[in-house]
Amino acid sequence: MRKLVVAEFLSLDGVMQAPGAKDEDREGGFEYGGWQMGYNDDVSGERIGRSMAETGAFLLGRKTYEIFAAYWPTQPDDNPFAKILNGLPKYVASTTLSEPLAWKSSTLLQGDVAEAVAELKRGEGGNIVVLGSGGLVQTLFENDLVDEYALTISPVVLGSGKRLFRALPKKSLKLADSVTTSTGVLMATYVPER
């Protein structure tokens, strides 16, 4: 059984929107794109690299898929993240996209998303990692499909933007691991109490 990991960059007030680039996602007039970039250090790079090495596939919602598919294939292979993101299988949850998908090794999930993800989890291989994909994370949370939340929480309050946890039912999580970086980022891993 494969583990499903939701890996997210968050602000202290829970915003996950556009951590990587100024124009990554301006939906809703969001003006703080790229807010996370000043917080990277060797500790976060090492931990993210270790997590990527344990990844066997990615699971993405449509918006995140489109943002990533426009960026990562253009990055050089000497970028270790580009090599992993471009090379590993990517499963996409969308009701508006159709096959074939442009980004190499991408497959559109068919039918009920929760059932399709449960089937992926029954397969063999490394972790299935969700990056971004806020709407998809809500569905996975509601269907109790997430095995681990790997949250990288930066010491910044944005005050607006899409939040990871929205109007969801109460669910208890327990802290499995944490480390604080030299820039004050808390990298915390939570697992559901089942």
Give the separation between CA 96 and CA 154, rounded to whole angstroms: 33
Whether 71 is in a domain gets the answer: yes
Whether 104 has a pLDDT exceeding 90, the answer reads yes
Whether 64 is in a domain gets the answer: yes
Whether 170 is in a domain gets the answer: no
- Could you list the residue range(s) of the whole structural domain that residue 122 is in? 4-13+55-146
Task: Please give the pLDDT value at position 80.
Answer: 83
Whether 180 is in a domain gets the answer: no
HSE of 177, CA atoms in CB hemisphere, 13 A = 8
100: cis peptide before it, omega within 30°? Answer: yes
Give the separation between CA 155 and CA 36, rounded to whole angstroms: 9
Q: How many domains does the chain have?
A: 1
Q: Report the first-to-last Cα separation within the chain, whole angstroms.
A: 16
Give residue for tokens 């996409």: 92
Whether 134 is in a domain gets the answer: yes
Whether 78 is in a domain gets the answer: yes
61-80 residue pLDDT tens: 999 999 999 999 999 988 88
Let me know the angle formed at the C-alpha of 69 by 42 and 83, rounded to the nearest 5 degrees.
Answer: 45
Whether 20 is in a domain gets the answer: no
Whether 93 is in a domain gets the answer: yes
160-188 residue pLDDT tens: 999 999 888 889 999 999 999 999 999 99
The reply to whether the predicted model has a pTM over 0.85 is yes
CATH number at residue 127: 3.40.430.10
